[in-house]
Amino acid sequence: MFNRRTFCAFVTLAGVAIAAPVFAQTDDYPTRPIKLIVPYAAGGGTDAIARLVANGVGAKIGQSMVVENNGTAGGNVASQTAANAAADGYTVLMANQGPMVVNPHLFKNMKLDPLAAFDPVILVAQTPLVVVVSKSSAYKSFKDVVEYGKQNAGKLTYGSAGNGSASHLATEMLLTQAGITAVHVPYKGAGPALNDMLGGRGDFMITTLPSVLGLIDSGDMIPVAVTTSERVPKYKDVPTIAESGFPEYSSAAWYGFVVPKGTPGPIIEKLRAATTEALATSTIKERLEADGTTIVGNKPAEFASMMAAESKRWAEFLAKTGISIK
């Protein structure tokens, strides 16, 4: 009576019965608050953008979007937590350069492949990094720094926001292309590093534009180049690294949303639509653009191919330079 075939049919039916509420839920999603996991500590640049956008998305989608920070182990713990969460659209991960495309090649013991574990939703925004020197520095231009570095191997000192941070890697990429050796002094976050650059204890630093904006506007730090392939509208006179003799060079910090693999398509689309709407509101637009951040808001497929290309680029670079974290 109860042979294998009926048993299989039973299991299939049961499976459908269990899965049914999930499908039913896609229509009225979201019915409860959505969690946005941020792979950095509260108070940083990424956190500020996450909270600003989360607030806007919450208003558009009709449920609040709650930010949860976990900066442990370079953001890898946050990735792991998000990857293990149910693929129901109630857990969203803030996707950044470090945890998504750099860490898998940087951390020797990372088990997770972020590109396989998540479905992309939208690339929210991009922010350029800038090469800055102190106003009292002897270097007046990007060329000055590079020339000095080329002639005096190992004499340059640069600060970074931390080992493996966007700030560190963008500098290493420049140094590799220019054939310069310089001493890296890592800090915990851009602020303390900038303090030492201001005090004249380091030669230059590459850092995200929002982290140094106040000091640039006051004239205490001088931007000598930007890392993006195009110039930044806010500082039209500042050249890009690419046009200053390194055409291959381009680097930017970026902020996107991804969800655990297997999240239903309609839910991803709802999230994407709400985020796009939120990004169009004047408050969010103005605040992000005032920081020199560019709003993107693209399609999941575009975001996916961009991350794949970035991941490949960093894998090759890190393999070549041998930079790693055990």
Question: Is there binding between residue 295 and another protein (CB under 8 A)?
Answer: no
Query: Per DSSP, what are the bridge partners of residue 256?
Result: 95, 123
Please choose, out of 18-26, 94-102, 123-131, 207-215, the segment that lies near another protein by the rule CB under 8 A: 207-215
* Nearest CB to another protein, comparing residues 21 and 219: 219
Question: Is there binding between residue 188 and another protein (CB under 8 A)?
Answer: yes
We find the least distance from the C-beta atom of residue 261 to another protein, in angstroms, to be 22
* Nearest CB to another protein, comparing residues 249 and 254: 254
CA distances from 261 to 85, 87, 130, 268 (A): 10, 6, 34, 11
Question: Is there binding between residue 265 and another protein (CB under 8 A)?
Answer: no
We find the least distance from the C-beta atom of residue 64 to another protein, in angstroms, to be 8
DSSP-assigned letters across all residues of 257-325: EEEETT--HHHHHHHHHHHHHHHHSHHHHHHHHHTTPEE----HHHHHHHHHHHHHHHHHHHHHHT--B
DSSP state of 19: H
* Nearest CB to another protein, comparing residues 70 and 263: 70
> Which two tokens mark 144?
């000055």
Question: Is there binding between residue 52 and another protein (CB under 8 A)?
Answer: yes
CA 159/CA 196 separation, integer angstroms: 8
We find the least distance from the C-beta atom of residue 259 to another protein, in angstroms, to be 20
We find the least distance from the C-beta atom of residue 243 to another protein, in angstroms, to be 27
Question: Is there binding between residue 62 and another protein (CB under 8 A)?
Answer: no
> Which two tokens mark 256?
């996107």
Q: According to CB under 8 A, which one of 34, 37, 54, 271 is a site residue for another protein?
A: 54
Question: Is there binding between residue 33 and another protein (CB under 8 A)?
Answer: no
Using the CB atoms, write b or e for 82-119: b if 16+ within 10 Å.
Answer: bbebebbbbbbbbbbbbbbbbbbbbbeebebebbebbb
50 burial level (CB within 10 Å; 0-12, 13-18, 19+):
buried
CA 174/CA 182 separation, integer angstroms: 11
Site track for another protein across 141-160, x = CB under 8 A: -------------x--x---
What is the SS3 assignment for 224? Answer: strand
Which residues, 161 to 180, sit near another protein by CB under 8 A?
A: 162-164
Which residues, 78 to 137, sit near another protein by CB under 8 A?
A: none
Of all helices (H) and strands (E), which one includes residue 168? helix 166-178
Q: According to CB under 8 A, which one of 183, 280, 308, 319 is a site residue for another protein?
A: 183
146 burial level (CB within 10 Å; 0-12, 13-18, 19+):
buried
We find the least distance from the C-beta atom of residue 100 to another protein, in angstroms, to be 18
We find the least distance from the C-beta atom of residue 18 to another protein, in angstroms, to be 28
The dihedral built from the CA positions of residue 220, 169, 84 and 119, taken in this order, carries a sign that is positive
* Nearest CB to another protein, comparing residues 89 and 292: 292
Sequence-distant (6+) residues with CB within 8 A of 157 are 182, 183, 185, 201, 202, 203
We find the least distance from the C-beta atom of residue 66 to another protein, in angstroms, to be 8
Question: Is there binding between residue 67 and another protein (CB under 8 A)?
Answer: yes
DSSP state of 124: E
Please choose, out of 91-99, 118-126, 213-221, 295-303, the segment that lies near another protein by the rule CB under 8 A: 213-221
Query: Given the rule CB under 8 A, which residues bind another protein?
Result: 41-45, 47-48, 51-52, 54-55, 66-67, 69-73, 77, 154, 157, 162-164, 183-189, 191-192, 194-196, 198-199, 201-202, 210, 213-215, 217-218, 220, 286-287, 290-291, 324-326
